[in-house]
Structure formats: structure tokens, C-alpha cells
Chain A
């Protein structure tokens, strides 16, 4: 079997698995977020936290709860890293430097998991498992909770109430993320991922050299890193490391875990608004964009254009033999289409056009299928923009799922959309204006790509890197930290505000003039609007970077 045939089968098997699982798993998530019966564990948690699970919150209270929880998380994680040398299992590492601790704290709380440190030489086991991995869970739960609040905005009418953040956070964590993470971690351990508290083993190699084999609670962190679309590796080289991703089938499993929740959430949307076909339409938009992107990434990487790939005979620099080119490209597409940012191969060494696909995926706003929760709310915002554009064309007040998209709604949607491009382009410009682009490893168009990639990754809360850039300086840590923070929480505030204003409306019954939003026509329009918005925003920057290099 050729590598291309095997690569196509690999992709098709992933698609088949997701098609099979998204309905039952989506139904399970639907029951979790709409159920009102609390288990004993959950009641215990509410008592410890001191909240009343039956009290509902307005969008403002919900948003302030999200912000309070995230602010405390950042502070806690920052302090945790700063005192790690005094704690158990520190492996003798020093406290993380202030700017690094800030960047890492923000990065994990915002579900970005951008890493300006290398795990095996910076973080002790306790910080990894009780600090970073905890945020892998709860930041993912926050994303899903916000998406669910937005869906409630569509589903409810004449109410100010959007649910209770603490209840959503708890139920999503305990009933969705934790069980799947346990299963995923056990599977990874069977594949060979390590799970221990050892400081490592010193060995003498066959030829008499020395090697320090690292240990750590890796499998437990790896499973939630993929499932929660977080992406922060236990080790510097992330999922390329054989202890994180030992075999070709664990590689398949990790991609599956990355895509599982994002592709199941449209089902939750359909169930909650009472029209499954609306969920299918959203899933179709995600699938069309994702399939196109993953196919192109494979085509570009397998074609292997560029001087070095031509000299080598394949785009194999930065890739593992057990994954080779095609399975690496599929992982790269999945990780950038979602907000994961885990890597099993190094995007910086990709062909110019293959690398551009990873950048373009993030610039799409990570909506195909996007991060857990953030992908769905991002795409629902684009659907709102699409009905608005369509409404302008025929001269009617646009509506979506029975809710009128008036001036307040479209303003919030536009603000949501403008945040990321503003952060990316202003940040890139600032790096060049202040000379901080000089820490990039490469020069010329590839150097611009590296800086652009860093800001795109941070502002979209992806966290993958064109790693050939030194970012553990005060300037980079501060700038990227701000980008991650604003790129996560401003959109969340606008989404919740939109949810609040939708929930207050009374439903508009569909009439003959209503644009049906479950037909292929609408799917095509959302795809078109997404691509056009991105192209208009980022094409000039792409033209100076990867396009200039690749053509």
C-alpha cells in the first residue's frame, strides 16, 4: 500500500468514527447540560463551592462568574509556578521566571496552551498535574459552558436567565470530560504513554553513552490535552514525543479525541433548539471546511515543494518515521482547525504551502470544528453574520432560529469577529516596529510567517507554534499573554451578551420570507462568508509570508 492510500484510509476511518459517534455522544452531552438531577458528587461540589444549583444567572452574572473563575485560576497558576521549588515533586527545578509564569498561566487558563517553556526542563510533576492539567479540564469546560449559554439564548424566550455557570462547569467536567479522559489515558498507557511520578532513569546506552529517560504523569495529561483541545504538551516536543504519542494508532486516537467534542456539539445545538436539522447544517459547515483543509494539507505535504523537501525527496524534516508525512499532515490540520495546538510534527519545517494551511486554519477563527465550545459559538456568530448578509440582499430583517437579528445582535457579532484580526495584525506590526521579530530563527518571508503564526496562534487561543522563534523574552511573553487574554475573554463577553439579548426576545414564527437555515444553500453561504471574511482580513499578510515563499 502506498503512503497516499494509507493516508486516505487513515482520514476516512477518522471521518467514519466521528460520524458514528457524534450522535450518541452529542445526545449524552445534551442530557448533561440540560439535565437538572444532580448526582451526590455534584451536590457535594456545590456545597463546597457554596452555590445554589437551582439559581439561574443573567448574562451579566454568568459572564462575571466566568471572569472571576478565570482570574482566580490565572493568579493561582502563576503563584503555583513561582513557588514550585518549595513543593513536592519539583524535580529540583527553579521557580518559573515571572514573565514566563504569567504567559503560561494565561495560556493554560485561556485554553491556548502556548508554551514558551520546555516541559522537561522547567516544570515539576506537581505543577504539571495539579496546575496545568487542571486548567486543561476547566478551561475546556468554560468553553463548552459559554457555547451552551449561547444555545440557551436561542432556545429560550422572554427570559433573562441563561443557566448557572457553576453548575455547567461542574457537570461538564464531571460527566463529560473526566470519564472520557480516564478512558483515553488508559488507552494511551496501553500504547506505551508513561504514567508515573518518577524523576527519570539514568541509563548507559549500548555504545556506552548516557541518557536520562524522563518520567512523569504523562498519559493523564495527554488525554485531556487532546480531548479539551488544549494542546500543552508535557514535553517540549509535545505529541511528537514517543512517551506522549508512542504509536501510529495512539496518533489516530489523539486526533479522534481532538475532534470528538467539537464535532458533537452541533448535535447538542440541534437538540437544544428543538430542530436537529439546524445542528446538522452547522456540522455540515464544519465538515466541508475541515475536509477541504485536511485534504489540501495532505496534498501540499505529500507533493513536497520547496528546495529542501526536493533535496530530501520528501517533506520529512521535523516528522517522525512512525507517522511519516500523511498522518503528520492530518494531525497538523486537526490541531489547527480546532484550538488544540498540539503538534506531532513541526510546522515550521513544513512546505511553505503546507505551513500556510495550518496558519489559514487558525485564521478561519477555528470554527471548523474549532475548540471545545469556542468552535461552536464562533460558527454560530458566523451564521448570524450570514443571515444578516443574506437579509441585506433581499431587504428583510434577518432572523436565525426564530430570533430576529437586530442592530444590537449584529453589533455584538461584528465586534466578536473583529477582535482576533485586530490582535493578530496589531501584534505582528508591533513586533516588527519594536524589533522583537529579531528573535525569529529564519529571515525574509519565513521570518514574517513565524511572527504572524505566533500572534495568530495566541489570539485564536490555539497555542501551536512555528517554533523557530524565541518567545521566552519579557516582551514576547507579555505581548502574547495579552493577546491570549483579550482573544479569549472579549469574545466570550460578546457571546454572552448576544445570548442575553436573544433570550429576551420572543420567537418569531417562520414565514414564507424566512431564509431556511438548514438547507445546503445556507451551508454554502456560511462557508462562503467564513472564507471571504478571512481572505479579506489576512490575505495581504499571507501574501508577504507563506505565499511569497511558496510561489
Chain B
């Protein structure tokens, strides 16, 4: 019996797919799984797990939160970067924030559960919190002293032009104090929950303020990584945490600094990537050398 051409073709396609599924979908990955059993490679193939006195506490490649049950930083540990993965560093729901460079206006709803914070406000509030925790200046450009985005909605008489009729600080609500008293002679109001000042025709105007151009809190301390699992922080972020960690553990800051250096991974081959501090490895070393009192 001769099959019609179109049917023969699809049968060949099905057989080809099955052959390739066995070859590429089973033989290839399983051979590599087997290769991953080779001593020396097995630890890595299994996820570079880290053990402390026999118990697995994490992976040297996956970041974790060093916070207490309420989500507050545990001060005797170096802190990781902010994370957008689930509740933070959750490998079962990895994610980035995906907020854009002009995400500057918070949605402040009447019901606080429906409010969302802009990326700018998240950056400002993290910077303020890190500044307080580590005793450094937490101010940043485009941030208010109370740690939200310094953004005004400016209403003009003819829409985009004309004299200014009203100015609202869109990310600040009562009982805050507006971060500037007046804008070009017009007093600045606080935002009221449930109002959309963009839809009302306000021109969104971020205000730079007088914060230093190079803030004391480093960039990686106030931004979420792409994976939400970043195991590293920059040497600069580690440096501002040294004094706090040393104090909490009753250790010499110079000794803590030495451990930071030991857990800093330089650029691969001298030019790939950026120097990075392995936070989990560093904290384990601290627990070993300077157990908290």
C-alpha cells in the first residue's frame, strides 16, 4: 500500500521527532547528568551546596536574606541586596522588579493594600533604611528626606503652558511635610489617597534636590537584581557594613575587613565582570571566627 505523499511526510516527521527526542532529550542530558557525578564536578552539578557543621545552609551561588522572622535585618550579618523574588530570595519564584527608569509616581489608594510603590520610592526608602542601619548618609538625588521619590505634579493654567496654579508632592501623604515648601512661588500640597494626579493633568516633575551626586549608600544596596537571587554585593556596600558587623560581634573592624577581602571575588581573567563579595561565605566565616556574643 502506498501512502499519500502528505501523510508519508508527516509520518517521517513524527519518526524524526521521536528519534531526536531519544537522542537529544534523553541521551544528551542524562549523559551530562552522569558526567556531573565525576568527583570534583559533583558538588557543582548538585548546586554548590554549603554545609555548616553537617547541615546544609544554602548554596554558594544563591543569595539569601539575612533578616529575622519580621523581615528586619539581623545586624550581626552582612546584608544582601534587595530582591524581587517572591518574599525575597525565593528560588521557586525568581523575578526582577521590571520597573522602568521613569517609574516615579506611587499609587496611593484609599485602601493601603492596593497601593503600589514606584521604583524611585523603593530606591529612596531603601537608601534611607541602609543609611540608618549603617550610620551613613542615606540621602540620594530625587529623594525626599522621609525616603520617598521627590516628585511634583505641576498644574498649569493651559495644560502644558501658562502660569502654575497648583503643585502636589505626589508621593507624600499626611502627616508628612512636603519636601519643598513652594515651587516657583506656589505652595506645595501633600497628595491625597485615591487621587491620580497624572490623569488630572499634572506635569510630573522629579526634583533633584541637593543630595551628593555620589551617595554614601552604593547603587547595589538600593536596587533589586535581575534574578532576585544575587549572591553578591559590591565591595563598596560591604565596606559601609563593616563597622556595624564588627560592633555587633565585638570584633576588630580590621579583622572583619580582612574577611571581606578573603571573600571578594575579583574579575575573571582580570577583565570579565566586576569584583563581588560572596555574602553567604562571608557571614559563615564571621560566625566561625567571631561568634556573636
Chain A residues engaging chain B, CB cutoff 8 angstroms: 1, 3, 5-6, 9-10, 13, 45, 48-51, 64-65, 68-69, 71-73, 76, 118, 120-121, 129-131, 133-134, 137-138, 166, 169-170, 173-174, 178, 181-182, 185-186, 189-198, 200-201, 203-209, 211-215, 217, 219-221, 235-237, 240-243, 246-249, 251-252, 305-324, 327-328, 343-346, 348-352, 355, 441-444, 446, 449, 466-468, 549
* A13 CB contacts on chain B under 8 angstroms: 271
CB proximity of A115 to chain B, nearest CB, Å = 12
* Cβ B44 vs Cβ A349 within 8 A: no
In the bound assembly, the distance between CA atoms of A131 and B20 in angstroms comes to: 10
* Cβ A192 vs Cβ B20 within 8 A: no
The 8 Å CB contact of A321, one of B19, B62, B274, is B274
* Cβ B9 vs Cβ A68 within 8 A: yes
* Cβ A206 vs Cβ B25 within 8 A: no
In the bound assembly, the distance between CA atoms of A181 and B35 in angstroms comes to: 14
In the bound assembly, the distance between CA atoms of A197 and B32 in angstroms comes to: 11
Contacts A69-B13, A166-B16, A243-B62; A205 near B57 (Cβ below 8 A)? yes
Please name the 6 residue pairs, one residue from A and one from B, whose CB atoms are nearest each other, closest first: A248-B273, A306-B101, A130-B25, A240-B226, A468-B98, A346-B96
Which among B59, B85, B232 has the greatest number of chain A C-beta atoms within 10 A? Answer: B59
Quick one: closest B residue to A328, CB to CB? B226
A-B contact pairs, 7 of them (CB 8 A): A49-B16, A72-B17, A120-B94, A166-B12, A194-B46, A207-B77, A308-B104
Contacts A72-B13, A121-B92, A206-B283; A348 near B100 (Cβ below 8 A)? yes
* Cβ B36 vs Cβ A323 within 8 A: no
The 8 Å CB contact of B101, one of A3, A9, A205, A349, is A349
* Cβ B9 vs Cβ A242 within 8 A: no
* Cβ A307 vs Cβ B102 within 8 A: yes
Which among B29, B91, B234, B276 has the greatest number of chain A C-beta atoms within 10 A? Answer: B29
* A51 CB contacts on chain B under 8 angstroms: 12
In the bound assembly, the distance between CA atoms of A487 and B36 in angstroms comes to: 38
* B11 CB contacts on chain A under 8 angstroms: 50
Contacts A13-B271, A121-B93, A217-B32; A242 near B98 (Cβ below 8 A)? no
CB-contacts of B194-247 with A (<8 A): 198, 206, 208, 213-215, 218-220, 222-234
Quick check: is B48 within 8 A (CB to CB) of the other chain? yes
* A214 CB contacts on chain B under 8 angstroms: 47, 91-92
In the bound assembly, the distance between CA atoms of A466 and B6 in angstroms comes to: 40
CB proximity of A28 to chain B, nearest CB, Å = 20
CB proximity of A241 to chain B, nearest CB, Å = 5
In the bound assembly, the distance between CA atoms of A308 and B230 in angstroms comes to: 20
Contacts A72-B14, A237-B95, A243-B62; A309 near B101 (Cβ below 8 A)? yes
Which among A9, A10, A196, A317 has the greatest number of chain B C-beta atoms within 10 A? Answer: A317
* Cβ A68 vs Cβ B12 within 8 A: yes
Interface 0/1 of B257-293, CB less than 8 Å to A:
0000000010111111110100010011001000000
CB-contacts of B122-172 with A (<8 A): 123-124, 140-143, 149
CB proximity of B78 to chain A, nearest CB, Å = 11
Contacts A195-B45, A237-B95; A307 near B59 (Cβ below 8 A)? no
* Cβ B29 vs Cβ A327 within 8 A: no
In the bound assembly, the distance between CA atoms of A307 and B149 in angstroms comes to: 10
Which among B17, B19, B31, B100 has the greatest number of chain A C-beta atoms within 10 A? Answer: B100
* Cβ A308 vs Cβ B123 within 8 A: yes
Interface residue tally for chain B (C-beta within 8 Å): 111
* Cβ B58 vs Cβ A312 within 8 A: no
Quick check: is B182 within 8 A (CB to CB) of the other chain? no
Quick check: is B24 within 8 A (CB to CB) of the other chain? yes
CB proximity of A67 to chain B, nearest CB, Å = 9
* A249 CB contacts on chain B under 8 angstroms: 268-269, 272-273
* Cβ A10 vs Cβ B98 within 8 A: no
The 8 Å CB contact of A118, one of B93, B213, B223, is B93
In the bound assembly, the distance between CA atoms of A281 and B198 in angstroms comes to: 51
Quick check: is B68 within 8 A (CB to CB) of the other chain? yes
- Other A-B pairs, 16, CB within 8 Å; known A10-B272, A13-B271: A1-B271, A120-B93, A137-B20, A166-B16, A189-B36, A203-B56, A207-B68, A209-B65, A221-B29, A237-B226, A242-B229, A248-B272, A251-B273, A307-B149, A310-B208, A441-B98
* B174 CB contacts on chain A under 8 angstroms: none
Interface 0/1 of B78-104, CB less than 8 Å to A:
000100010001111111111111111
Contacts A214-B92, A321-B81; A446 near B219 (Cβ below 8 A)? no
CB proximity of A43 to chain B, nearest CB, Å = 12
CB proximity of A346 to chain B, nearest CB, Å = 4
* Cβ B225 vs Cβ A321 within 8 A: yes
In the bound assembly, the distance between CA atoms of A89 and B9 in angstroms comes to: 32
* Cβ A252 vs Cβ B9 within 8 A: no
CB proximity of A55 to chain B, nearest CB, Å = 12
* Cβ B58 vs Cβ A348 within 8 A: no
In the bound assembly, the distance between CA atoms of A204 and B283 in angstroms comes to: 15
* A346 CB contacts on chain B under 8 angstroms: 96-98, 226
In the bound assembly, the distance between CA atoms of A306 and B118 in angstroms comes to: 14
* Cβ A237 vs Cβ B96 within 8 A: yes
Quick check: is B10 within 8 A (CB to CB) of the other chain? yes
Quick check: is B21 within 8 A (CB to CB) of the other chain? yes
Contacts A215-B46, A237-B226, A348-B98; A316 near B219 (Cβ below 8 A)? yes
* Cβ A323 vs Cβ B274 within 8 A: yes
Quick check: is B254 within 8 A (CB to CB) of the other chain? no
CB proximity of A331 to chain B, nearest CB, Å = 10
In the bound assembly, the distance between CA atoms of A71 and B94 in angstroms comes to: 32
Which among A6, A209, A327, A446 has the greatest number of chain B C-beta atoms within 10 A? Answer: A209
The 8 Å CB contact of A133, one of B29, B91, B271, is B29
* Cβ B36 vs Cβ A196 within 8 A: yes
* Cβ A209 vs Cβ B64 within 8 A: yes
* Cβ B219 vs Cβ A314 within 8 A: yes
Quick check: is B2 within 8 A (CB to CB) of the other chain? no
Quick one: closest B residue to A447, CB to CB? B100
* A305 CB contacts on chain B under 8 angstroms: 101
In the bound assembly, the distance between CA atoms of A374 and B64 in angstroms comes to: 41
Quick one: closest B residue to A185, CB to CB? B32
* B12 CB contacts on chain A under 8 angstroms: 49-51, 65, 68, 166
Quick check: is B110 within 8 A (CB to CB) of the other chain? no
* Cβ A204 vs Cβ B55 within 8 A: yes
* Cβ B65 vs Cβ A205 within 8 A: yes
Which among B12, B63, B284 has the greatest number of chain A C-beta atoms within 10 A? Answer: B12
Quick check: is B251 within 8 A (CB to CB) of the other chain? no
Contacts A195-B45, A319-B226; A212 near B91 (Cβ below 8 A)? yes
CB proximity of A125 to chain B, nearest CB, Å = 9
Contacts A206-B57, A446-B100; A215 near B47 (Cβ below 8 A)? yes
